[in-house]
Structure 1
Amino acid sequence: MSTVFDCGDPDARSAGIRAAVGAAKAGRLVVLPTDTVYGIGCDAFDPEAVAALLAAKGRGRDMPVPVLVGSWHTIDGLVLSVPTAARDLVEAFWPGGLSLVVEQAPSLSWDLGDADGTVMLRMPLHPVAIELLREVGPMAVSSANVSGQPASTTADEARAQLGESVSVYLDGGPAAAAQASTIVDVTTPVPRILRAGAVSTAAIAEVLDLDVDALTSP
């Protein structure tokens, strides 16, 4: 049975974080607020939980699950080599609405889907998400919706779509940005924007000292 915790109440928030940490460590799914949209998440290193996450969304392995982290420094243990562009973008926009596609460290024992040796990482700008991530560690997190349906910007919207497939819902109020993250691929010699979103193309171009056209060309 799913449980919803109102994270606007300090006691309920503490209880909710404890419940969500316990659920994630037991291989169950949780819904958490982020600065962009609500996410459905699990322990990134639990392949059965990741498979359950994909099933809850009705999503195939061809769309691998991104990973959220609770600290800048976590990226160093997850990436084969952190490119200068990635480091610059992390310093400029993390925590925040920017996701980076990087080459993952080959030693990692996770299965996020058919990612072809890459992983998409983000550090969200939301206190509930950060607290949960620092307790659980890296979490596989996708938008809290059934594939093909609108992303959820409230816990109620997420619950309406995902129902009892999720053990714990952390209600942090309406998502501040109500917009998906911008995705930048830094595995290529010139970074490429794969999806426009919460961080503007112009801001990314300024940090990387590149023309906007260079970032958006196929």
Structure 2
Amino acid sequence: MALFFECGDPDVRVDAIETAAHSVSTGELVVLPTDTVYGLGADAFDAGAVRDLLQAKGRGRDFPVPVLVGSWWTIDGLVTAVDGRTRALIEAFWPGGLTIVVRHAPSLTWDLGDARGTVAIRMPLHPVAIELLEKTGPMAVSSANRHGSPPAQTAAEARAQLGDDVAVYLEDGQVSGGVASTIVDVTEDVPQVLRAGAISVDELREIVPDISAPGAGG
């Protein structure tokens, strides 16, 4: 039976975060709020848990799972090196609605799907998510919905879709953003916008002027 916590109550929230972190450490799935939509999360380094996440969503390995982190500096342990442009984007837009695609360190023993040596990383602007990530470390997180259904705006909506495939639901009201993150690929010489979203191309170019955005003026 899945556990459901109302994180608006500060006392409940403490217990909720502890319970969710324990569930993640034992390979179970949790639903957590972010600043965009509610996410379905698992330990990024537990391949079995990531497979369960994809199965719960009804998606295959051709949809690699992004990773959420709890601080600017977590990315340093996940890649071989962070160049100046990537660091500038992180400092400008994390935590927030920017996902950055990087080449992960070859030494990492994770399996997030068929990502061909890359990983999409974001630091969410949501206190419950950050508190959980500080306890769990990097989490593989996808939108909390069945494939083909609308992303959940509350944990209750997620529970209606995912049921007991999830061990713990963290409810913190309807998400305030509701707009998907912007995705920027920094694996090539010229960073490229792969998906427009919460961060505009103009905002990105204030930080990295040569960023490429097909369909948006270059």
Give 1:81's aligned residue.
81
State the Cα distance separating 1:188 from its structure 2 match.
1.3
What is the rounded CA distance, in whole Å, between the counterparts of 2:84 and 2:213 in structure 1?
A: 16
Q: Are 1:182 and 1:199, in contact at CA under 8 Å, matched by a contact in 2?
A: yes
Deviations 1:77-123 (A, max 9, x none): 10122122211110100000100000000000101001100000000
Alpha carbons 1:30, 1:42 under 8 Å: kept: yes
CA RMSD of the aligned region, Å? 1.2
* Alpha-carbon distance in structure 1 between the residues aligned to 2:179 and 2:159: 19
SS in 2 for 1:215: coil
Q: Does 1:22 align with 2:3?
A: no
Q: Distance in 1 between matches of 2:86 and 2:47?
A: 27
Q: Point out the more displaced range, 201-210 or 43-52.
A: 201-210
Unaligned runs of 5+ in 2: none
* Residue 169 (structure 1) aligned with residue 169 (structure 2): yes
Separation in 1, partners of 2:189, 2:151: 32
How far apart are the structure 2 equivalents of 1:179 and 1:205? 20
Matched residues, percent identical?
62
Give, in whole Å, the separation in 2 of the partners of 1:163 and 1:86: 38
Aligned-partner residue type, residue 160 of structure 1: A
> Structure 1: which 4+ aligned runs deviate by more than 6 Å?
none
Corresponding residue of 1:115: 115
What amino acid maps onto 1:215 in structure 2? Answer: A
Q: Where in structure 2 are the equivalents of 1:30-49 lying within 5 Å?
A: 30-49=30-49
Q: Does the alignment pair 1:92 with 2:92? A: yes
Match of residue 152 from structure 1: 152
SS where residue 131 of structure 1 aligns? helix
Distance in 2, matches of 1:97 and 1:198, equals: 5
Task: Please say if residues 81 and 103 of structure 1, whose CA atoms lie closer than 8 Å, have aligned partners that are also in contact.
Answer: no
**Contact 1:5–1:16 (8 Å) recurs in 2:** yes
**CA offsets 1:131-178 (integer angstroms, 9 cap, x no match):** 000000000000111111111111111111111100000001111101
Q: CA separation in 2, counterparts of 1:21 and 1:182?
A: 27
Q: How many residues were matched structurally?
A: 216
Amino acid at match of 1:23: S
Distance in 1 between the 2:77 and 2:91 partners? 17
Q: d(CA) in 1 for partners of 2:93 and 2:129? A: 16
Tell me, what secondary structure is at the counterpart of 1:119?
Answer: strand
User: Which amino acid counterpart does residue 213 of structure 2 have in structure 1?
Assistant: L
Q: Give me the TM-score of the superposition, normalised by structure 2.
A: 0.96
* Contact 1:185 1:194 (8 Å CA) reproduced: yes
Tell me the equivalent position of 2:214: 216
d(CA) in 1 for partners of 2:52 and 2:61?
11
Cα separation, 2, equivalents of 1:125 and 1:7: 16
Give 5+ residue unaligned stretches, structure 1.
none
- 1:200 aligns to 2:200 (yes or no): yes
Deviations 1:34-69 (A, max 9, x none): 011100001101000000000000010011100000
